[in-house]
Structure 1
Amino acid sequence: MKVLLAADGSKFTKKALAFVVANESLLGDDGELIVLHVQTPLSPRVKTMVGAQAVADYHRDESEKVLAPIRKFLDRHGLRYRANWVVGPNASEIVRAAGKQKAQMIVMGTQGLGMLGRALLGSVAQRVVTESDIPVLLVK
Protein backbone atom coordinates (compact mmCIF):
# COMPACT_ATOMS: atom_id res chain seq x y z
CA MET A 1 0.00 0.00 0.00
CA LYS A 2 1.19 3.52 -0.74
CA VAL A 3 0.74 5.80 2.25
CA LEU A 4 1.24 9.56 2.22
CA LEU A 5 2.40 11.01 5.54
CA ALA A 6 1.73 14.73 5.84
CA ALA A 7 4.58 16.21 7.90
CA ASP A 8 4.65 19.66 9.46
CA GLY A 9 7.45 19.02 11.94
CA SER A 10 5.24 19.23 15.02
CA LYS A 11 5.04 16.74 17.87
CA PHE A 12 1.86 15.50 16.19
CA THR A 13 3.84 14.59 13.08
CA LYS A 14 6.25 12.66 15.29
CA LYS A 15 3.33 10.68 16.74
CA ALA A 16 1.98 9.92 13.26
CA LEU A 17 5.45 8.87 12.09
CA ALA A 18 5.90 6.62 15.13
CA PHE A 19 2.49 5.07 14.41
CA VAL A 20 3.46 4.28 10.81
CA VAL A 21 6.77 2.73 11.88
CA ALA A 22 5.11 0.70 14.64
CA ASN A 23 2.48 -0.49 12.15
CA GLU A 24 4.65 -0.85 9.06
CA SER A 25 2.53 -3.83 8.03
CA LEU A 26 0.09 -1.16 6.76
CA LEU A 27 2.52 -0.66 3.90
CA GLY A 28 2.76 -4.34 3.07
CA ASP A 29 5.74 -5.99 1.40
CA ASP A 30 5.80 -3.79 -1.67
CA GLY A 31 4.37 -0.66 -0.07
CA GLU A 32 5.89 2.75 0.11
CA LEU A 33 5.72 5.70 2.45
CA ILE A 34 5.58 9.11 0.82
CA VAL A 35 6.48 11.90 3.23
CA LEU A 36 5.19 15.32 2.20
CA HIS A 37 5.90 18.66 3.81
CA VAL A 38 3.88 21.66 2.66
CA GLN A 39 5.31 25.15 3.03
CA THR A 40 2.85 28.03 3.32
CA PRO A 41 3.52 30.51 0.53
CA LEU A 42 5.03 33.85 1.42
CA SER A 43 3.23 36.93 0.24
CA PRO A 44 4.11 38.23 -3.24
CA ARG A 45 5.28 41.39 -1.53
CA VAL A 46 8.07 39.47 0.23
CA LYS A 47 9.15 37.96 -3.09
CA THR A 48 9.30 41.44 -4.60
CA MET A 49 11.34 42.78 -1.68
CA VAL A 50 13.92 39.99 -1.29
CA GLY A 51 13.80 38.29 -4.67
CA ALA A 52 12.55 34.96 -5.98
CA GLN A 53 15.80 33.11 -5.24
CA ALA A 54 15.80 34.19 -1.58
CA VAL A 55 12.21 32.98 -1.21
CA ALA A 56 13.05 29.65 -2.90
CA ASP A 57 16.09 29.23 -0.63
CA TYR A 58 13.95 30.00 2.41
CA HIS A 59 11.35 27.36 1.48
CA ARG A 60 14.06 24.78 0.78
CA ASP A 61 15.85 25.46 4.09
CA GLU A 62 12.67 25.42 6.14
CA SER A 63 11.55 22.18 4.49
CA GLU A 64 14.89 20.53 5.21
CA LYS A 65 14.51 21.43 8.89
CA VAL A 66 11.34 19.33 8.91
CA LEU A 67 12.37 16.52 6.56
CA ALA A 68 15.97 15.84 7.69
CA PRO A 69 15.05 14.34 11.10
CA ILE A 70 12.25 12.33 9.49
CA ARG A 71 14.67 10.90 6.90
CA LYS A 72 17.12 10.01 9.66
CA PHE A 73 14.38 8.28 11.68
CA LEU A 74 13.08 6.30 8.69
CA ASP A 75 16.59 5.31 7.59
CA ARG A 76 17.24 3.96 11.09
CA HIS A 77 14.09 1.86 10.86
CA GLY A 78 14.78 0.64 7.32
CA LEU A 79 11.47 1.79 5.87
CA ARG A 80 11.17 2.41 2.14
CA TYR A 81 10.13 6.02 1.60
CA ARG A 82 10.34 9.13 -0.52
CA ALA A 83 10.35 12.62 0.97
CA ASN A 84 9.30 15.76 -0.82
CA TRP A 85 8.09 19.27 -0.16
CA VAL A 86 5.86 21.72 -1.99
CA VAL A 87 4.67 25.28 -1.51
CA GLY A 88 0.95 25.99 -1.43
CA PRO A 89 -2.24 25.71 0.59
CA ASN A 90 -1.67 22.87 3.07
CA ALA A 91 -4.81 20.75 2.76
CA SER A 92 -5.17 21.13 -1.00
CA GLU A 93 -1.52 20.24 -1.61
CA ILE A 94 -1.75 17.15 0.63
CA VAL A 95 -4.84 15.86 -1.20
CA ARG A 96 -3.38 16.74 -4.61
CA ALA A 97 -0.09 14.96 -3.84
CA ALA A 98 -1.93 11.87 -2.60
CA GLY A 99 -3.82 11.71 -5.89
CA LYS A 100 -0.73 12.35 -8.00
CA GLN A 101 1.26 9.66 -6.15
CA LYS A 102 -1.70 7.23 -6.24
CA ALA A 103 -1.58 6.91 -2.46
CA GLN A 104 -4.20 4.66 -0.90
CA MET A 105 -4.18 6.38 2.49
CA ILE A 106 -3.16 9.69 4.05
CA VAL A 107 -1.74 9.66 7.58
CA MET A 108 -1.31 12.84 9.56
CA GLY A 109 -1.04 14.03 13.12
CA THR A 110 -3.70 16.22 14.64
CA GLN A 111 -3.99 18.39 17.71
CA GLY A 112 -7.60 17.37 18.26
CA LEU A 113 -8.82 20.91 18.90
CA GLY A 114 -12.48 19.95 19.11
CA MET A 115 -15.38 21.68 17.42
CA LEU A 116 -14.87 25.13 18.90
CA GLY A 117 -11.13 25.15 18.18
CA ARG A 118 -11.69 24.06 14.59
CA ALA A 119 -14.35 26.73 14.15
CA LEU A 120 -12.04 29.47 15.46
CA LEU A 121 -8.67 28.34 14.12
CA GLY A 122 -9.54 26.01 11.28
CA SER A 123 -7.97 22.60 10.88
CA VAL A 124 -5.77 21.31 8.09
CA ALA A 125 -6.71 17.77 9.13
CA GLN A 126 -10.42 18.55 8.91
CA ARG A 127 -10.00 20.05 5.44
CA VAL A 128 -7.98 17.03 4.26
CA VAL A 129 -10.68 14.66 5.54
CA THR A 130 -13.32 16.72 3.74
CA GLU A 131 -11.43 17.04 0.43
CA SER A 132 -9.89 13.57 0.20
CA ASP A 133 -11.39 10.69 -1.75
CA ILE A 134 -9.13 8.17 0.00
CA PRO A 135 -9.05 7.14 3.68
CA VAL A 136 -7.38 9.57 6.08
CA LEU A 137 -5.92 8.29 9.34
CA LEU A 138 -5.55 10.97 12.01
CA VAL A 139 -3.13 10.24 14.83
CA LYS A 140 -3.61 12.20 18.04
Structure 2
Amino acid sequence: MYKKILLPTDGSTYADEEVERVEKLISDDGEVIVLSVAGKITSSAFQPRRKVKKVNEKLKKDAQRYVDNMAAKFDDNIHVTKMVKTGFPAETIKQVTEEEGVDLIIISSSGKSGIHKFIIGSVAEKVLKDSEIDVLLVHNE
Protein backbone atom coordinates (compact mmCIF):
# COMPACT_ATOMS: atom_id res chain seq x y z
CA MET A 1 0.00 0.00 0.00
CA TYR A 2 1.12 3.53 -0.76
CA LYS A 3 0.86 6.45 1.64
CA LYS A 4 0.89 9.28 -0.92
CA ILE A 5 -0.14 8.91 -4.56
CA LEU A 6 0.11 11.56 -7.26
CA LEU A 7 -2.59 11.42 -9.91
CA PRO A 8 -1.93 13.87 -12.75
CA THR A 9 -4.91 14.64 -14.96
CA ASP A 10 -5.33 16.43 -18.25
CA GLY A 11 -9.09 16.06 -18.37
CA SER A 12 -9.00 12.92 -20.50
CA THR A 13 -11.75 10.33 -20.37
CA TYR A 14 -9.70 7.70 -18.53
CA ALA A 15 -10.33 8.98 -15.01
CA ASP A 16 -12.44 6.03 -13.89
CA GLU A 17 -9.64 3.51 -14.51
CA GLU A 18 -7.14 5.70 -12.68
CA VAL A 19 -9.41 6.26 -9.68
CA GLU A 20 -10.01 2.52 -9.43
CA ARG A 21 -6.26 1.87 -9.31
CA VAL A 22 -5.71 4.53 -6.64
CA GLU A 23 -8.45 3.07 -4.45
CA LYS A 24 -6.81 -0.37 -4.65
CA LEU A 25 -3.31 0.87 -3.85
CA ILE A 26 -3.69 3.64 -1.27
CA SER A 27 -3.23 2.92 2.42
CA ASP A 28 -6.12 3.55 4.82
CA ASP A 29 -4.51 6.75 6.08
CA GLY A 30 -3.10 7.72 2.68
CA GLU A 31 -3.51 10.80 0.55
CA VAL A 32 -4.05 11.22 -3.17
CA ILE A 33 -2.92 14.43 -4.82
CA VAL A 34 -4.91 15.20 -7.95
CA LEU A 35 -2.77 17.49 -10.10
CA SER A 36 -3.41 19.32 -13.34
CA VAL A 37 -0.71 21.35 -15.02
CA ALA A 38 -1.93 24.36 -16.97
CA GLY A 39 0.25 25.47 -19.84
CA LYS A 40 1.26 29.09 -20.09
CA ILE A 41 1.82 31.16 -23.17
CA THR A 42 3.77 34.39 -23.28
CA SER A 43 3.01 37.59 -25.15
CA SER A 44 4.83 38.50 -28.31
CA ALA A 45 4.63 40.99 -31.13
CA PHE A 46 1.92 38.79 -32.66
CA GLN A 47 -0.09 38.23 -29.49
CA PRO A 48 -1.25 41.22 -27.46
CA ARG A 49 -0.70 40.95 -23.71
CA ARG A 50 -4.44 41.25 -22.98
CA LYS A 51 -5.29 38.31 -25.25
CA VAL A 52 -2.49 36.18 -23.79
CA LYS A 53 -3.72 36.90 -20.27
CA LYS A 54 -7.23 35.69 -21.21
CA VAL A 55 -5.85 32.50 -22.75
CA ASN A 56 -3.74 31.78 -19.66
CA GLU A 57 -6.73 32.38 -17.39
CA LYS A 58 -8.77 29.91 -19.46
CA LEU A 59 -6.01 27.30 -19.31
CA LYS A 60 -5.89 27.63 -15.53
CA LYS A 61 -9.70 27.42 -15.21
CA ASP A 62 -9.74 24.30 -17.39
CA ALA A 63 -7.03 22.73 -15.22
CA GLN A 64 -9.05 23.49 -12.09
CA ARG A 65 -12.13 21.91 -13.67
CA TYR A 66 -10.12 18.77 -14.51
CA VAL A 67 -8.91 18.52 -10.91
CA ASP A 68 -12.39 19.10 -9.47
CA ASN A 69 -13.93 16.48 -11.78
CA MET A 70 -11.29 13.88 -10.92
CA ALA A 71 -11.43 14.56 -7.17
CA ALA A 72 -15.22 14.19 -7.17
CA LYS A 73 -14.89 10.57 -8.36
CA PHE A 74 -13.26 9.42 -5.10
CA ASP A 75 -15.09 7.96 -2.13
CA ASP A 76 -15.42 10.33 0.83
CA ASN A 77 -13.15 8.12 2.97
CA ILE A 78 -10.11 8.91 0.77
CA HIS A 79 -8.15 12.05 1.60
CA VAL A 80 -7.86 14.04 -1.66
CA THR A 81 -5.72 17.14 -2.14
CA LYS A 82 -6.44 19.19 -5.26
CA MET A 83 -3.57 21.00 -6.93
CA VAL A 84 -3.24 23.18 -10.04
CA LYS A 85 0.18 24.32 -11.22
CA THR A 86 1.39 26.23 -14.25
CA GLY A 87 4.30 24.94 -16.30
CA PHE A 88 5.47 22.05 -18.42
CA PRO A 89 3.58 18.88 -17.40
CA ALA A 90 6.39 16.31 -17.04
CA GLU A 91 8.71 18.70 -15.25
CA THR A 92 5.95 19.94 -12.95
CA ILE A 93 4.90 16.39 -12.10
CA LYS A 94 8.48 15.59 -11.10
CA GLN A 95 8.71 18.78 -9.01
CA VAL A 96 5.45 18.08 -7.15
CA THR A 97 6.55 14.49 -6.56
CA GLU A 98 9.71 15.67 -4.85
CA GLU A 99 8.11 18.55 -2.90
CA GLU A 100 5.22 16.44 -1.59
CA GLY A 101 7.11 13.23 -0.84
CA VAL A 102 4.98 11.14 -3.19
CA ASP A 103 5.40 7.32 -3.12
CA LEU A 104 3.65 6.47 -6.40
CA ILE A 105 2.57 8.24 -9.59
CA ILE A 106 -0.40 6.86 -11.49
CA ILE A 107 -0.59 8.24 -15.01
CA SER A 108 -2.40 7.24 -18.20
CA SER A 109 -0.82 6.52 -21.51
CA SER A 110 -2.68 7.53 -24.61
CA GLY A 111 -2.89 4.02 -26.03
CA LYS A 112 -1.92 5.37 -29.43
CA SER A 113 0.44 3.68 -31.86
CA GLY A 114 2.80 4.80 -34.58
CA ILE A 115 3.36 8.52 -34.98
CA HIS A 116 0.49 9.32 -32.57
CA LYS A 117 2.29 7.44 -29.80
CA PHE A 118 5.39 9.51 -30.48
CA ILE A 119 3.48 12.79 -30.16
CA ILE A 120 0.66 11.91 -27.79
CA GLY A 121 1.66 10.33 -24.52
CA SER A 122 5.04 11.98 -24.38
CA VAL A 123 4.25 13.34 -20.89
CA ALA A 124 3.64 9.84 -19.53
CA GLU A 125 6.79 8.59 -21.25
CA LYS A 126 8.93 11.40 -19.75
CA VAL A 127 7.48 10.83 -16.28
CA LEU A 128 8.12 7.09 -16.54
CA LYS A 129 11.66 7.59 -17.77
CA ASP A 130 12.68 10.35 -15.34
CA SER A 131 10.93 9.23 -12.15
CA GLU A 132 12.92 8.04 -9.17
CA ILE A 133 9.82 6.49 -7.56
CA ASP A 134 7.27 3.90 -8.66
CA VAL A 135 5.08 4.82 -11.62
CA LEU A 136 1.96 2.92 -12.59
CA LEU A 137 1.26 3.51 -16.26
CA VAL A 138 -2.41 2.89 -16.99
CA HIS A 139 -2.75 1.77 -20.59
CA ASN A 140 -5.86 3.10 -22.31
CA GLU A 141 -7.15 2.45 -25.80
| Aligned structure 1 segments of 4 or more residues deviating by more than 6 angstroms | none
Partner of 1:93: 92
CA RMSD of superposed structures (Å)? 2.2
**TM alignment of 1:114-129, pairs within 5 A:** 114=113, 116-121=115-120, 123-129=122-128
Residue 60 (structure 1) shift: 3.3
Identity level (%): 24
Higher RCO (CA < 8 A, seq sep 6+):
1
Query: Counterpart of 1:118 in 2: which secondary structure?
Result: helix
Structure 1 gap segments, 5+ residues each:
none
Residue 37 (structure 1) shift: 0.5
Given that 2:42 and 2:52 are in contact with CA atoms closer than 8 Å, whether structure 1 keeps it comes out as no
Partner of 1:18: 20
Structure 2 gap segments, 5+ residues each:
none
Partner of 2:136: 137
TM (normalized to structure 1)? 0.82
Structure with greater proportional strand content? 2
Residue 90 (structure 1) shift: 0.8
**TM alignment of 1:53-92, pairs within 5 A:** 54-55=54-55, 57-74=57-74, 76-92=75-91
Q: Deviations over 1:62-90 (max 9, x none)?
A: 1222122222222x443111010111111
Given that 1:109 and 1:138 are in contact with CA atoms closer than 8 Å, whether structure 2 keeps it comes out as yes
Residue 124 (structure 1) shift: 0.8
* CA distance in structure 1 between the aligned counterparts of 2:81 and 2:66, rounded to whole angstroms: 14
Residue 30 (structure 1) shift: 2.1
TM (normalized to structure 2)? 0.81
Partner of 2:49: 48
Structure with greater proportional helix content? 1
